[in-house]
Amino acid sequence: MKLKELISRARTCRRFKGDHRLSSETLADLVDHARLSASARNHQVLRFITIADRDTCEAMNALVVMGGSLTPEQRATATQHPGGFIVIAGPEKMDDFALMDVGIAAQSINLAACEAGLACCMIGAVKRNEAAALLELPKELQVKLVLALGEPDEVRHLVERRSDGSLTYYRDENDEHCVPKISLEEAIIIRK
C-alpha cells in the first residue's frame, strides 16, 4: 500500500471488536515503530507502557473519553472496548520540541496499526494522575497521550469540509464515521 493510502485509511477508531485481544508482542511491535522514529535532538525521552491484560484495559478505558463530539449512542458499547492500549509517557517538563516527539510516536503507531489491519484512537482526554497510579508509573514520568488499539468495528472515511464550514467529525445516516479534512488549496497558503 502506498503511504498516502495508508495515511488516508488510518482514521481514528472508537468502536472496536472487544473480543479481539491484542497480545503484548503485538503492542511491543507497534511501539518499535515509535522507537525508530524521529526525535527532537534525538534525546528520546519518551517511554511506553503496553496494556494487553483485559482487566487493566477495562480500568484504563474507564479513565479516557473517546468521541467527545458523539452522542452516547454513537460511542462504543460494552462489547466494543479496545483490545489493548499503549500509553506514551515522558518527563514532566518537556519543551515544544520534545512534545513534538509525542505526536510523531503516536502517528508511527497509528500507521503501523493500520498496516496490520488494526485501528487506533489517540486520546488526550485521560485522567492522567489516575492512569499513572493504575500503571504504577515511575514518579519522574507523566502520561502524555494514550492510544487505544484494536480491530475496528466501525467504518470511517474522509469527507470534505461540511457546507456550514464545520470540521467536526460526525456519523452519517449509515452510522459511518466521517472525518472532514480541509482541501490542499486551503492547507497550502503560500506557493512561491
Ligand X SMILES: Cc1cc2nc3c(=O)[nH]c(=O)nc-3n(C[C@H](O)[C@H](O)[C@H](O)COP(=O)(O)O)c2cc1C
* Minimum distance from residue 6 beta carbon to ligand X (Å): 13
Closest residue to ligand X, judged by C-beta, is: 125
* Minimum distance from residue 192 beta carbon to ligand X (Å): 28
CA dist list (Å): 14 to 148, 155, 176? 8, 10, 12
Which of 31, 87, 89 lies closest to 56 in space, CA to CA? 87
Q: Which residue has the cell 524521529?
A: 38
Binding stretches for ligand X (CB under 6 A): 11-12, 14, 65-68, 121-125, 169, 179
* Minimum distance from residue 153 beta carbon to ligand X (Å): 15
Contact yes or no for 41/97 (Cβ under 8 A): yes
Reduced to 3 states, what is the DSSP secondary structure of residue 104?
helix
Please say which residue, 54 or 181, places its beta carbon nearer to ligand X: 181
* Minimum distance from residue 25 beta carbon to ligand X (Å): 26
Please say which residue, 11 or 81, places its beta carbon nearer to ligand X: 11
